[in-house]
Amino acid sequence: MSPDRRLEVPVYDLSLIRGLWEVRVKKHQQRQKKDKERMEKSALAKIDQQWQYRIYCKTMKTPELNLLHQYLERSPLTHLSTGDQQQNQTVQQDQMVQQDQRVQQDQRVQQDQRVQQEQRVQQDQRVQQEQRVQQDQKEPHQEKLIFQLDGDQWMDFPKDLQWKTYLQEWHIRGTRIRQLPDYLALFTQLTVLEIPKNSISELPAEIGRLTELRTLNAGYNHLCRIPEELGDCSNLERLELAGNNLSELPFELSSLKQLLLLDISENRFVSIPICSLRMSSVQVLDLNNNQLNDLPQDMDRLEHLVSLFLHKNNLTYLPHCLTNISSLKMIVASGDELTCIPTRLCQNPSIKFIRLYDNNPAGEEKRKKQEEEEKQKKDEEKRRRWREQKEEMKDSREKEFLEAYISSLKDRETVPSSTTKVSISCLL
Whether residue 393 has pLDDT greater than 70: no
C-beta of residue 261 within 8 angstroms of C-beta of residue 238: yes
pLDDT-based confidence at 227, cuts 50/70/90?
very high
Q: What is the pLDDT of residue 137?
A: 46
* Architecture (CATH level 2) of domain 139-271+278-291: Alpha-Beta Horseshoe (3.80)
Residues 6+ apart with CB under 8 A from 183: 162
Report the share of the chain in percent with pLDDT over 70: 71
Q: Mean of the pLDDT values across residues 102-111? A: 67
Q: Which of 36-45, 284-293, 309-318 has the lowest mean pLDDT?
A: 36-45
Q: How far is CA 276 from the centre of its chain?
A: 18
Q: Would you list the domain boundaries of the chain?
A: 139-271+278-291, 292-302+312-364+406-422
Please, which pLDDT band fits residue 141 given cuts at 50, 70 and 90?
A: very low
Q: For residue 132, name the pLDDT band (cuts at 50, 70, 90).
A: low
- Among 243-257, 261-275, 320-334, 411-425, the range scoring the smallest mean pLDDT is 411-425
In this structure, the chain runs to a length of: 428
- Range with the poorest average pLDDT among 220-224, 325-329, 334-338: 334-338
Side by side, the strands of the sheet bearing 192-194 are 146-150, 169-173, 192-194, 215-217, 238-240, 261-263, 284-286, 307-309, 330-334, 352-357, 419-420
Q: Give the burial class of 229: count Cβ atoms within 10 A of its Cβ; 0-12 exposed, 13-18 middle, 19 or more buried.
A: middle
3-state secondary structure of 141: helix
Helices (H), 297-376: 343-347, 362-374
SS3 114: helix
Whether 356 and 332 have beta carbons less than 8 Å apart is answered as yes
Q: State the pTM of this model.
A: 0.57
